[in-house]
Amino acid sequence: MSVKIIKPTCNLETVKDGRGGIFTWIPDKPILEFNMLYFRPGKTRGFHFHPHFEEYLLVVDGNGTLITRKKPDNKESEEFIHLSKGTCTKTEKDTYHTIYAITEMTIVAMLTKRWDHSSPPIIKVEE
């Protein structure tokens, strides 16, 4: 179980010539589906894990915290990653995780297997 931050490369010419910038993230597994997720401050979808796919998250807007646990009922094992615009993470299969929005957030979630082809796609964990 793990989550890691994926660092982008940058086409520096697009920054130097004033166009703004092109940043590129290259996943190590093929992406088969992507989804736009909206989060509201103070709300969470709860701890869960995905048994059939890896999940890449790219923060488009806002700030929050991605929290993981080694075991679902062990709050002592919690670790976090601060999420802000441009942060990209990869969450391995079977990693217990949730996101707490600090501000309104928009995230693109990219999956290595289609949601509807996973049975079940998500397993929620009671807190």
DSSP labels, 68-112: EESSTT-GGG-EEEEEETT-EEEE-TT-EEEEEESS-EEEEEEES
Q: φ and ψ at 120, to 5 degrees?
A: -90, 160
Tell me the two tokens of residue 77.
Answer: 């094992």
Q: What is the pLDDT of residues 38-78, one digit of tens each?
A: 999 988 888 999 999 999 999 999 999 999 988 888 888 89
Q: What is the mean pLDDT of the chain?
A: 94
Query: What is d(CA 109, CA 105) in angstroms, rounded to the nearest whole number?
Result: 12
Q: What is the pLDDT of residues 3-14, one digit of tens each?
A: 999 999 999 999
Question: Mean pLDDT, to the nearest integer, of 10-21?
Answer: 94
CATH architecture, domain defined by 3-124 = Sandwich (2.60)
Question: Mean pLDDT, to the nearest integer, of 8-37?
Answer: 96
Query: What is d(CA 63, CA 87) in angstroms, rounded to the nearest whole number?
Result: 10
> For residue 62, which of 78, 82, 81 has the smallest C-alpha distance?
82
What local confidence, expressed as pLDDT, does residue 43 receive? 85
Task: List Cβ neighbours of 101 (8 Å cut-off, separation of 6 or more).
Answer: 39, 40, 41, 42, 43, 44, 62, 63, 64
Domains of the chain by residue range = 3-124
